[in-house]
Structure 1
Amino acid sequence: MTLLNEAREPSAPAPPRPRPARMTPADVVRVGGSGLRSRPLRVFLSALGIAIGIAAMVGVVGISTSSSEDLDRRLAALGTNLLTVSPGQSFGGGAAHLPAESVEMIAGIPEVESASALGRTKAKVYRNDHVPREETGGLTVYAARTDLPATAGAEIVDGRWLNGANRNYPAVVLGPKAAEQLGVFRAGSGTQVYLGGHRVTVVGLLAPNELVPDLDSAALVGWPFAEEELDFDGYPTTVYTRAEEASVADVQSVLGATANPENPSEANVSRPSDVLAAKQATDDTLSGLLLGLGAVALLVGGVGVANTMVISVLERRSEIGLRRALGATRGQIRNQFLCEALLLSALGGLGGVLLGIAVTSGYATYQGWPSVVPAWAMAGGVVATLVIGGLAGFYPAVRAARLPPTEALATT
């Protein structure tokens, strides 16, 4: 009976299985970091691939932004309210000309702040009278009004501009390219050039002018002197107009008809600042192309991360099996390898951002631009690397988590 009763008694319950130890985020980061430290060279090369892609993207955005900032700064200094009027072609296809009174008529528009003009002559300029006449060097001699600098934004770097005292006499102001080509480096009574068969004194040298580049290769003489000594016909070749900022479009619409009332279609009206804006649009297109190349480089870096993580899983099968045998869950294994991929990508991303900032600063300094790297570009670079790293490390992490402990330990 005793044996029968003992047989009928229920067996003792099995002891509960111990719960796996929980890993805090700090533990996951610590374990993931130790995995990276065990393969420093491979980690460096993979992070370098990511860094190159991010540096390319940040550098392109930074250089483009710095260029735009420099353009905005220069336009603010030069002004975007400059308009020009030049003669076009006549109805019969011949060369047209603006009336001699066009400057005064344009200046009469209420919204116009100032107006001035240049007139192209047929004279040639040489360093001296010993230079062969066929070697003109492509320099142009213009008749200029005394109020041209205020309207066209011309600046004198040496000497002075034409004025009421010398505009009737053999005096010339040279643009920077013309001065360099003629071998003139300073203005003064002792510096002369040979112009239109006359020895003329160089009274001033101009600074480069981005809005009016024609002045850079020009030799400028007084309007009366050109009419009297250089057979100048008195018709302006280009009329420069400064309009009120708020009325530029309105002035532009009536400028041709005002400059040449009889034949308004023969007057060409332009806005020099539009050329700079078009140049910036071209630069933006090129920046978009380079940004695409940077994205390709980033994708290649992501492939490098995936390759590193897959090889890491294959090399560390025994470690994975041992951790699983000691109670680590699939989720903990997956999080460990995913954390390694994210840390690897973060290293590459931060290094790429710093490299991109350095490239932008160096290039901007070389060009004389303000160095500007948008905050969104830096933050976007890091976020992009984390996304790429997460996607690249997801499959290796899942593969490591699904590895059976017995199979993993059998490879030791």
Structure 2
Amino acid sequence: MRRGDAARRGVRPVRLAPTDVLRLGLLGLTTRRGRAVLSALGIAIGIATMIVVVGIPASSQRHLMDQLSALGTNLLRAEPVPDRTPPVLLPEESAAMAARIGPVTATSAVANTHTTVRRSDVMDRYDNGGLTVLAARPNLLDTVNGRLRTGRFLAAGTDRLPVAVLGYVAASRLGFATVDPRQPPQVNIDGHWFTVVGILDPMPLAPDLERSVLVGWGAARDVLGFDGHPTVVYAQAREDALEGVRAVLPATLNPQLPGLVQVSRPSDALAAKRATENTFSALFLGLAGVALLVGGIGVANTMVISVLERRREIGLRRALGANRAQVRTQFLTESVLLSLLGGAAGTVLGVLATVGYAGYQGWPPTVPIASVAAGVGGALLVGVVAGVYPSIRAARLTPTEALAAP
């Protein structure tokens, strides 16, 4: 009975409840379980591929980003403009002033003591090997993301004691490879003996510290006659606000004459990091799109074949009173359910594969929440798109055409 005939006779077609639609959609999957499993496997592989090609590069990217961040990509260095007469002096509280800038997360300072360091007091007092003696704050190492190769760093409790930490290059030029706590080496700074308590690892983004001998701020004042004015202020800030902090830092350190303070530009490592992020993002988008396309083609192919095989079933339902909208809804629901089942399985499989591979490589496992949501949402979208044509084709079959099919 056609809808027009039913309307003329006063009979309205029965509207299917959502539970009935769901049951009809599951009917096609449960009666052909083997094909449904293979079809769901196809979409599962597509979704799992999408999550893997997003998750594994994301884990690798995070590992790379951690390495670049460890170099100090978010570090700014402020110092007076050199060769000025009289010399420009930064305030003694410069580090605290810079710390008041909102996006700044850590600050520290060093100061040139204008003294000479030698391994022995019998060496030429003017031969310092190109090394600089710097007064340093105890939090310097954390601010510049430095690491100790051996020994320990300066501490607040030893700030006034004659102890020193050598930069990597400074230790090599002075002939020290390690620090033995039982018999620590000593260096002579302007006729005063300082005990070496630590040696730093290389710091590619802070070569001036590699060629320096670091002493406590209080010891530099008491023993070396240091005047307390820092020569370099280090500021660590959020990467997204780095350029803004760089713009306001000179006026913060020297409000009267900000032009006499120069600030280093963000490092090339930060530019490389941002370029890497953009490259990875484009790669993720392309690979995810290919994976979803492959899965969608598989589901569409399965649903078209299902319509061809079930023409007699369609004809029987039409003859018993099902209208075109109900047939169309049945096959569209079946396509969506098939894709969702495959998408859920593929999401779980992709997450497990990503975590396992990242753990094997020693990377921090990273599975973007967006990729998991895209896996389920993509499966839903694929099911809708892939089911549109088969459902319309099934709905267009008349009862006589469908029942006459071989």
TM-score normalised to the size of structure 2? 0.60
2:395 corresponding residue in structure 1: 401
Q: Given that residues 344 and 389 in structure 1 are in contact (C-alpha distance below 8 angstroms), is that contact kept between their aligned partners in structure 2? A: yes
Shift of 1:47: 3.4
* Aligned residue-pair number: 346
1:297 corresponding residue in structure 2: 291
2:383 corresponding residue in structure 1: 389
CA–CA distance in 2 between the matches of 1:207 and 1:367?
22
Residues 1:367 and 1:243: Cα distance change in structure 2 (over 3 Å): closer
Q: 1:317 aligns with which of 290, 311, 317?
A: 311
1:27 corresponding residue in structure 2: 23
Q: 1:221 aligns with which of 199, 213, 216?
A: 213
2:77 corresponding residue in structure 1: 84
Q: Deviations over 1:333-385 (max 9, x none)?
A: 322321221012212322343345446655776666585744x6544542332
Output the amino acid matched with 2:388. Answer: F
Output the amino acid matched with 1:45. Answer: G
Shift of 1:297: 2.5
Residues 1:282 and 1:321: Cα distance change in structure 2 (over 3 Å): same
Say what the alpha-carbon RMSD is for the aligned residues.
5.8
Shift of 1:387: 2.1
Q: 1:52 aligns with which of 37, 49, 54?
A: 49
Q: Deviations over 1:187-208 (max 9, x none)?
A: 546576999xxxx975214478
The answer to whether the aligner puts 1:153 opposite 2:146 as a matched pair is no
CA–CA distance in 1 between the matches of 2:235 and 2:77?
9
Output the amino acid matched with 1:111. Answer: M
Shift of 1:70: 7.5
Please show how residues 311-350 of structure 1 align to structure 2 within 5 Å: 311-324=305-318, 328-350=322-344
Residues 1:183 and 1:399: Cα distance change in structure 2 (over 3 Å): farther
1:227 corresponding residue in structure 2: none
Residues 1:253 and 1:217: Cα distance change in structure 2 (over 3 Å): closer
Shift of 1:289: 0.6
Output the amino acid matched with 1:49. Answer: G
Structure 1: which 5+ runs fail to align?
A: 1-14, 89-95, 126-138, 225-235
Residues 1:346 and 1:338: Cα distance change in structure 2 (over 3 Å): same
Q: Given that residues 120 and 141 in structure 1 are in contact (C-alpha distance below 8 angstroms), is that contact kept between their aligned partners in structure 2? A: no
Q: 1:354 aligns with which of 348, 351, 355?
A: 348
The answer to whether the aligner puts 1:111 opposite 2:97 as a matched pair is yes
CA–CA distance in 2 between the matches of 1:41 and 1:407?
29
Q: Deviations over 1:82-114 (max 9, x none)?
A: 6412577xxxxxxx5578965654646982567
1:3 corresponding residue in structure 2: none
Match of 2:136, SS state, is coil
Q: Deviations over 1:15-73 (max 9, x none)?
A: 9999889671342133132255141324412432244235545x3897599789979xx
CA–CA distance in 2 between the matches of 1:148 and 1:102?
25
Residues 1:98 and 1:110: Cα distance change in structure 2 (over 3 Å): farther
Output the amino acid matched with 2:263. Answer: V
Residues 1:152 and 1:69: Cα distance change in structure 2 (over 3 Å): closer
Output the amino acid matched with 1:116. Answer: A
Shift of 1:120: 12
Please show how residues 11-22 of structure 1 align to structure 2 within 5 Å: none
Q: Deviations over 1:377-408 (max 9, x none)?
A: 54454233212210111111111222344444
Structure 2: which 5+ runs fail to align?
A: 1-8, 100-106, 119-128, 189-193, 217-228, 239-243
CA–CA distance in 1 between the matches of 2:352 and 2:237?
41
CA–CA distance in 2 between the matches of 1:177 and 1:306?
68
1:252 corresponding residue in structure 2: 249
CA–CA distance in 2 between the matches of 1:364 and 1:52?
15
Residues 1:377 and 1:16: Cα distance change in structure 2 (over 3 Å): same
Match of 1:30, SS state, is helix
Q: Given that residues 340 and 380 in structure 2 are in contact (C-alpha distance below 8 angstroms), is that contact kept between their aligned partners in structure 1? A: yes
CA–CA distance in 2 between the matches of 1:20 and 1:177?
88
Q: Deviations over 1:236-277 (max 9, x none)?
A: 9971245999x9678613268689x7xx767530376x8786
CA–CA distance in 2 between the matches of 1:99 and 1:117?
21
CA–CA distance in 2 between the matches of 1:358 and 1:177?
48
CA–CA distance in 2 between the matches of 1:43 and 1:288?
28
Output the amino acid matched with 2:97. Answer: E
Match of 1:145, SS state, is strand
CA–CA distance in 2 between the matches of 1:177 and 1:357?
48
Residues 1:350 and 1:279: Cα distance change in structure 2 (over 3 Å): farther
Residues 1:331 and 1:192: Cα distance change in structure 2 (over 3 Å): same
2:233 corresponding residue in structure 1: 240
Identity %: 32
CA–CA distance in 1 between the matches of 2:401 and 2:63?
59
Shift of 1:285: 1.8
CA–CA distance in 2 between the matches of 1:405 and 1:38?
28
